[in-house]
Chain A
Amino acid sequence: DTGVSQDPRHKITKRGQNVTFRCDPISEHNRLYWYRQTLGQGPEFLTYFQNEAQLEKSRLLSDRFSAERPKGSFSTLEIQRTEQGDSAMYLCASSYRLAVNQETQYFGPGTRLLVL
């Protein structure tokens, strides 16, 4: 499968613990997005990278959240001191931005986080 992959697929943790998720985009895609999806809702934008640069962060992304894309390939999303409200599906999407209005985002399978 040459699509976007995410690891782990599921994570159960206790409140207050730190968790880290990984996303491997489609090869040569220069953009990588993180979204969060709660039950019955559409995905909500969290942050995105163009190559290794993090260019925008949503207000949803509190100080407990940090994301990196150190070499412009895979990305990690870390949540520190998890809270029950962090329970959600964390989706990664990648795209190749050729030009303005020339971009399609492809999603990974997501990491489902449950904070007890």
Chain B
Amino acid sequence: GENVEQHPSTLSVQEGDSAVIKCTYSDSASNYFPWYKQELGKRPQLIIDIRSNVGEKKDQRIAVTLNKTAKHFSLHITETQPEDSAVYFCAASSGGATNKLIFGTGTLLAVQP
């Protein structure tokens, strides 16, 4: 069935360092890959997304790369700040008419000041 694997499950970095989170997906029909940031007790917030016709997208300190052949996509955060600390979820759309999102299990990012 449809599956998204996410690694690592926890990531601790020093302020100013870069953080990379990686995901793989199983459904070759997936064509949309969003990343959500969720702080404790709050809603998932979309931080960046990429569609299958694009290989890379950047928004200030955040970038996402997509390799459709390998079914991999990654989130890159540069110059991390303490306020980047949260749980990050990758997701892949189911493709077809539904476009439901299949989520990874999340990465707890801790940015140490």
Do A106 and B32 contact each other (CB < 8 Å), given the known contacts A33-B100, A42-B104? no
- CB under 8 Å from chain B, chain A span 16-74: 31, 33, 35, 40-45, 48, 55-56
* A 98-115 to B, binary, CB cutoff 8 A, 1 in contact else 0: 000101111111100000
Interface size on B, residues (CB 8 A): 27
Q: How far is the CB of B59 from chain A (nearest CB, A)?
A: 14
- CB under 8 Å from chain A, chain B span 1-40: 4, 6, 31-32, 34, 36
Do A45 and B101 contact each other (CB < 8 Å), given the known contacts A101-B32, A108-B43, A109-B42? yes
A95 to B32, CA, bound (A): 14
Inter-chain contacts of B78 with A (CB < 8 A): none
Do A40 and B100 contact each other (CB < 8 Å), given the known contacts A104-B46, A107-B43? no
Q: How far is the CB of A57 from chain B (nearest CB, A)?
A: 11
Residues of B within 8 A of A (CB): 4, 6, 31-32, 34, 36, 42-46, 49, 51-52, 89, 91, 94, 97-106
Task: Let me know if A97 and B99 touch, CB within 8 A.
Answer: yes
Task: Let me know if B43 and A43 touch, CB within 8 A.
Answer: no
Task: Let me know if B89 and A42 touch, CB within 8 A.
Answer: yes
A70 to B73, CA, bound (A): 38
